[in-house]
Chain A
């Protein structure tokens, strides 16, 4: 069967151009046909997984599993709001993702996996947390499935939030608003072509593919580091442009993923600009939850220490999420350390004023330093240094 991996082939773009034509025409008239959109969603789900029927089955089982969990937890929560139910629900909803990530070490588990399992897991976990917090009182199954199987973002995000998604679904854009959305969407898709298929491709083929980078010398590893970091950005930012652009055409304003990350002036700033939908998800649902719980239960007196532990947990989980491999975990720890050190420096600088913030030269230097700290982390991430350990 022909594969329709999102945004990976010319074929895919032709297919969605045809399928979305009615959506665009209706949109320009200020209308939306839910039935048609649902049919497209179902068709796309099948086509995306068509090349691997095993993945399709895993995916269908997965969404039913998550639907049962969310509806079940919602019912239990309505009766009694205890932490126990919440934690059980969270563990059960993370379980499939955990097993699949574990398959990096235990390969037999990989049969459970399917393209985009992380991103759909993040979406369901966040719904359970919203239910716990009383922010979600009802989840109609149709809405849940529309949210989870939203095909433009199914394979690699950006990770939307249910309540935000639902408000876009409830609000049919006027003809005028849709015209802006259409422009915005098409523009994003063209930017995506530039990023992923021109810049990213050229970097991958001629920079990273250069035989000069094969040896394990300092200079070739350094060149690889820059090349890989650029490739990572242009490839993923290009992909995100596609996902956001196609969402736009469907009248959904999927959140941004990148905001000039290589112009960040410190590591904290970087994580507000790089893979934003993921880092915000981790910030809100891991770091903040941890700090909140630790403070509320008075686990520790020192709030800085609590924050540092929160950051460590946050980046360790992120490392493990990339895969149960040593270099991903080192990548997580590296970012945790960078983040904590920067935090300490920033506090120290408040009283000592060593690092002037408004000076353009200092600003420039900060960007260069941050860029290198980040690029080095990507070098670890790439596995290029695996020969060291």
Chain B
């Protein structure tokens, strides 16, 4: 019986190792062939002319993720504080499942929501096509909310009640006690939530590809379109052949390295906590 458990445990490890081997075996030779600096820093992506520069996509991914964090993190943290500290029991019974449902909505549905609702609003406000870095950031900001709220809420709840009571006893208001005494104590837990949110945002594909415009040029304002690393892969995989296909796998390698960095950060923060 132990064997079954062992095999089950091995499945995920084998999956990760296989994916790593596949990615690096196909991607690294392509990067070498294109030239690492030309691939990572090249500003021109024209596969038909053998120009494979993914710099605009790297920048695009970072900008969109940063935008999502700016929008999602404050809302997420305030929501977590509300849920943990100020929420009446009755409301909590509605809020909690609603947030869990938000996490379960498939990303393609988010994409359609973005295309039908957020894009027209952006058109009205800023003109242009409405498909932009800002649109993608807003949608991703919504998508990472459940991750941040979930982790931040348990972090706030884990802070001993005595912090709050001590602060009240010193004459601080209820809000001030929460924000100045409890939140700093829950800092590492909240950071962990934020980093998980970053991981979710940078890896998101189907929703983003529908609303970010997908232009492979460096964006010059928050209302110009961008193409993310994930969007680049999903857009062109269907028709790509030869070096073009390998260049897309190499894009995935870059994305994989990003995720590795994020996960390492996550473990470092988690270990610091303990």
- A and B are partners in one complex rather than unrelated chains: no
**Chain B contacts to A: CB under 8 angstroms:** none
